[in-house]
Chain A
């Protein structure tokens, strides 16, 4: 059955491997994926553990619905204590790895210790082998996947790998699978590197039994129709996430020049339509690709049109690549976006953090805090495509200023000194998406409070931007838990938004436990499936009976464990806060000109948000909250 996949404990120091079943009681508490990973993280690390030391734990998992008929059940979750932030490390990727891990018999991997020399894991049909990876060390993301498939003689092997950035312990190195799918955030690639783990290879032919196959098929069909009939997903299926960047840029909701401005002018060449044009020119009319079982197919295939990388194949780019390699560094070339996207895909760097930190350095250079002496003569000015590409390389291989930036923003600011930290746009040490939330308090609250730091995929109430009539908003946000507090259709408002953020947090935690993609839930579209549908999909596929409220409670439980972990690592209320620019400088361009966040109102929002969570005024979960969720005795070491 779908619930018989195991958990494996792998000690890379001793080579000991142990596989265990996952008890049904634990499943009911955490489901799988991110939820169970959070439990494992809290239980298998000690306070103050060195993120790059052998005692940090590396967790790799599939969702409980991974590889089943749940539409886009493709996700893989990777967790540990973050080498970048020192708080929660948690990242999620699409592709085909998660389902393959399940076909190979496993749902969760708990990796500890450090191998003496580079190794990779070979997981196949219930077996796990630690194999030598010395000959793969130094290889790019793409090359190592080809090489391991060749070594093991099977083209259908799926891999989660690191590139040179992870090997060099760049604190925002990612873990990738396939061409472009990446668990990018919070530096999980450095965690792989610190354990001398180059890759995890999975291949399996073990059946996942579907408990109610006819119902599962029919429900999946309905689910897919619901998902692909929404306009937003149809646009995603044509232009991918770049369409969001394009739309947001038009009203001034993106960041440029390291958040000095909020709109990229002369953006014709980097608009989504232009990127789509290049994909069509280089790959033909049908140039979109999809993750496992997904009918949204949101990523474009492309070949680089010109320059030294001309003709090279890759996938993406996403919204984030436009922000990282056009908006923030003030560049204006689609070719540059495609080249930089390809570079981070080969080196294994988080696209978001990379673009942010280089743009930050560009502002420091503009302000004279960094000079030509610091950059070894590189003219690190805004708008320089060459400097951008060169810095990606220097960060990966830790050369010169790149070595400092590879340490992440906060550590780099300490080294660079002066008032460099003032210009760093981060929350909890994690850079924010290249969006400007000064005109949208709901979105601003989300990034200030996100459990892994500034991030749009933890709680963003994106539908808040659509000015939906209040009754529609209320319908969405009153299930499965009734909400009769205030709500506002106006995105500029502060009122009622903390509930939206709280609700979205649990919604996204929910999909991350199930292993489904966020485009298949209430993220970009108000009519997409959530708790109600998940309850049915879960039952038809696995036989597990969980009400919508049960799933909501699982999400709440997991989110509180994330909070407990962060608090144990030193997080306080002041970490749920925004960089000063949000409050002190207003938007300069577009229809949102003049907008900024009001400190006092924002403080009240945080209070209200804590209240919804059942946390005290310092953001600490109240004893009765932990008791209600059954986590007052953690760590309980059930697994």
Chain B
């Protein structure tokens, strides 16, 4: 099974370095508009969420593409757009539930995360680990562990509070 981007938004510091390195890697320019990843912010609450293509197994963009320009690369577990076939109808943009596909109006093409051919730059530069590149199965294990830790931590707190009272 291929690797996936695992996002832990709580760790994101909102610095948007991922947006910079993504656009430089793919386009040779700094331009958050051309980045395949975007940090969506609720600045006034201190909440920052990295959003990118989820590389769906049953991808709506692939299903809706009228010219079959969207395909799945099972090797890297990613969804790719063939720009030679793409007619720029933006149906993929319309159906994607995550905003993972974007229309680059300057170059008239669809851009989306391609996992940098297996070495995602966003992951490489994110020192806090808000975005990681892990085996798909591993995501669940990591999540289970984090949830269990939180849960057991709470239980311990309750237990010690009870002990203090009694």
Contacts and interface: CB of A to CB of B under 8 A. Distances in A.
A210 B24 contact: yes
B24 A69 contact: yes
Contact of B44 (A179, A291, A294): A179
B55 interface: no
Contacts of A150: none
Contacts of A205: 31, 33
A61 B107 CA distance: 30
B44 A210 contact: no
Determine chain A's interface SS by DSSP, over half rule: loop
Contacts of B41: 155
Given A67-B30, A205-B31, A207-B30, A286 B10 contact: yes
Interface stretch (B59-67, B78-86, B90-98, B121-129): B121-129
Nearest to B40: A155
A284 B47 CA distance: 11
Contacts of A179: 43-44, 46
B31 A289 contact: no
B46 to A, nearest CB: 4
Contact of B27 (A207, A292, A315): A207
B155 to A, nearest CB: 18
Interface in B111-149: 121, 124-125, 127-128
Given A217-B21, A286-B11, A313 B29 contact: no
Nearest to A314: B46
B24 A293 contact: no
Contacts of A224: 125, 127
Interface in A276-302: 283-295, 297, 301
Interface string A372-385: 00000000000000
Interface string B13-41: 11111001101110111111110000001
A209 B21 contact: no
Contacts of A213: 24-25, 28
A428 B125 CA distance: 43
Contacts of A221: 124-125
Give the bracket for the number of chain A residues in contact with chain B. 35 or more
Contact of B28 (A210, A286, A288, A294): A210
Contact of A206 (B15, B21, B31, B125): B31
Given A179-B44, A207-B27, A103 B32 contact: yes
B45 interface: yes
A213 to B, nearest CB: 4
Contacts of B20: 67, 69, 293
Nearest to B28: A213
B48 to A, nearest CB: 8
Contacts of B46: 179, 283, 287, 289, 301, 313, 315
Determine chain B's interface SS by DSSP, over half rule: helix
Given A221-B124, A289-B46, A294 B31 contact: no
Q: Give the residue among B13, B17, B31 with the most A Cβ atoms within 10 A.
A: B13
A216 interface: yes
A288 B14 CA distance: 9
A289 B45 contact: no
Contact of A207 (B16, B17, B34, B125): B34
Contacts of A208: 29-31
A203 to B, nearest CB: 10
Contacts of B13: 286, 288-290, 297
Contacts of A68: 30
A142 interface: yes
B24 A216 contact: yes
Contact of A293 (B12, B16, B29): B16
B36 to A, nearest CB: 15
A415 interface: no
A217 B29 CA distance: 11
A56 interface: no
Contacts of A286: 10-13, 128
Interface string A191-222: 00000000000000111111001001100110
A69 B32 CA distance: 13
A630 to B, nearest CB: 32
B88 to A, nearest CB: 18
Nearest to A282: B46
15 contacts: A67-B20, A179-B44, A206-B31, A208-B29, A210-B30, A213-B24, A220-B125, A228-B127, A286-B10, A289-B14, A289-B46, A290-B15, A293-B17, A295-B125, A297-B15
Interface of B: 10-17, 20-21, 23-25, 27-34, 41, 43-46, 48, 121, 124-125, 127-128
Given A67-B20, A291-B15, A295-B17, 9 more contacts: A69-B20, A69-B24, A216-B24, A220-B125, A286-B11, A286-B12, A286-B128, A290-B14, A297-B13
Closest 10 A/B residue pairs (Cβ): A290-B15, A207-B29, A301-B46, A290-B13, A207-B31, A297-B13, A205-B33, A213-B28, A208-B30, A295-B127
